[in-house]
Structure 1
């Protein structure tokens, strides 16, 4: 059985939230070497901001599950 891609995404997002740093944490999400999205976590507001690299649209989430599902969909295209 293959490892869950969704679990890997949630693990990365959770690590951002659990960081001891008060600074915004940023992670890039790629598929086949192509950057699909960038996520920033702001610990002061407890929000994730996803920027889709192709369209440069930004989406804000205050729920880790919703952010993970959106990233999963972005990587699944």
Structure 2
């Protein structure tokens, strides 16, 4: 059985939130070497921002599950 891609995404997002730093955390999400999304976590507001690298649209989330699902969709388009 293959590992869940969604669990891997949530693990990365959760690690961003659990970092002891007050600075904004940034992670890149790629598929086949192509950058699909850029995620930033702001500990001051406990929110994630996802930037779709193909359109440069930004989306905000205060829920880790919603952010993970949209990243999953972005990686599998």
* Over 6 Å off, 4+ runs: none
* Residue matched to 1:37: 37
* TM-score (norm. length: structure 2): 1.00
The 1-side partners of 2:21 and 2:66 are apart by 23
Q: What SS does the aligned partner of 2:29 have?
A: strand
The 2-side partners of 1:15 and 1:6 are apart by 14
Structure 1, unpaired ranges of 5+: none
Matches within 5 A, 1:1-77: 1-77=1-77
How many residues of Structure 1 are paired with residues of Structure 2 in the alignment?
77
Q: By how many angstroms is 1:48 displaced?
A: 0.1
Structure 2, unpaired ranges of 5+: none
Q: By how many angstroms is 1:12 displaced?
A: 0.1
Q: By how many angstroms is 1:36 displaced?
A: 0.1
Q: What SS does the aligned partner of 2:16 have?
A: helix
Q: By how many angstroms is 1:39 displaced?
A: 0.1
Q: What SS does the aligned partner of 1:14 have?
A: helix
* TM-score (norm. length: structure 1): 1.00
